[in-house]
């Protein structure tokens, strides 16, 4: 019995020693609910605190490989330091109960769990960042400024690919799937 436990312990130590050492932020959760209920959770995978000052999120809408400056770029708050193994939740800043359409308010439950509300409004031409106005065919990139150069450290979705829906057309109702070819909903796809 002792030899078995010793063998299992050595295998466990060997596997842990081979595990990837995460030392940066990742997009750990993506929320796209009904209406304007949109949120991102950023997770600090490291054992040390990380300032959000050198990070930004880019939105590559509708299969684009580039982003629109200002509208497609969101600098994370420079005054926030995320503790080791902690999360930071960003939700879309739409809380006016009298809003409708693109200004409809987010759910109060989502607002309650958000650490911050960013990107007021989703209408084009507002001059505000529209990064949080994503939908099913928009890719998101979390970037870090390393010596003056922005480097991708995590990406959600596929930049340059616009998934099609089950009828083969492109629309915000499409999304990436776990089914081959992974970037489109196959013809005849049913969520059931």
Contact 157, 64 (CB under 8 A): no
Q: What's the rounded Cα separation, in Å, for the pair 12 and 137?
A: 40
Higher pLDDT, 14 or 153: 153
Higher pLDDT, 21 or 140: 140
When the pLDDT of each residue in the chain is averaged and rounded to a whole number, the result is 77
Average pLDDT over residues 62-85: 81
* pLDDT tier at 49, thresholds 50, 70, 90: very high
Whether the pLDDT of residue 7 is over 80: the answer is no
Q: Which residues contact 95 (CB under 8 A, 6 or more apart)?
A: 105, 106, 111, 117
Percentage of residues in the chain having pLDDT higher than 70: 62
Percentage of residues in the chain having pLDDT higher than 90: 36
Say what the pLDDT of residue 11 is: 44
Contact 133, 92 (CB under 8 A): yes
The per-residue pLDDT for range 81-128, each reduced to its tens digit, is 999 999 999 999 888 888 888 788 899 999 999 999 988 877 666 566
Contact 88, 50 (CB under 8 A): no
Say what the pLDDT of residue 139 is: 85
DSSP 88-134: EEEEE----TT--GGGPPPPHHHHHH-SEEE-----TTSSS--TT--
Give the pair of three-digit tokens for residue 100.
Answer: 């409708």
Say what the pLDDT of residue 168 is: 57
Q: What's the rounded Cα separation, in Å, for the pair 49 and 12?
A: 28
Say what the pLDDT of residue 24 is: 95
- pTM strictly above 0.85: no
Say what the pLDDT of residue 12 is: 44
Q: What's the rounded Cα separation, in Å, for the pair 53 and 81?
A: 8
**Distances from the Cα of 66 to the Cα of 61, 80, 84, 191, angstroms:** 9, 27, 32, 31
* b/e per residue 69-82 (b: at least 16 CB within 10 A): eebbbbebbeeeeb
């Amino acid at each position: 019995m002792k030899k078995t436990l010793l063998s299992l312990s050595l295998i466990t130590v060997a596997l842990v020693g081979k595990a990837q050492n995460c030392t940066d932020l990742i997009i750990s959760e993506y929320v796209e609910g009904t209406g304007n209920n949109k949120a991102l959770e950023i997770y600090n995978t490291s054992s040390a605190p990380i300032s959000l000052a050198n990070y930004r999120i880019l939105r590559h809408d509708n299969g684009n490989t580039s982003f629109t400056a200002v509208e497609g770029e969101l600098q994370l708050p420079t005054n926030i330091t995320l503790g080791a193994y902690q999360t930071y939740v960003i939700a879309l800043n739409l809380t006016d109960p009298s809003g409708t359409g693109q200004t409809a308010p987010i759910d109060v439950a989502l607002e309650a769990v958000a650490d911050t509300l960013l990107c007021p409004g989703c209408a084009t031409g507002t001059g505000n960042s529209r990064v949080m106005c994503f939908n099913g065919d928009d890719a998101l990139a979390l970037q870090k400024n390393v010596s003056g150069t922005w480097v991708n450290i995590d990406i959600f979705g596929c930049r340059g690919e616009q998934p099609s829906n089950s009828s083969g057309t492109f629309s915000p109702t499409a999304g990436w799937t776990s089914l081959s070819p992974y970037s489109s909903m196959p013809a005849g796809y049913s969520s059931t």
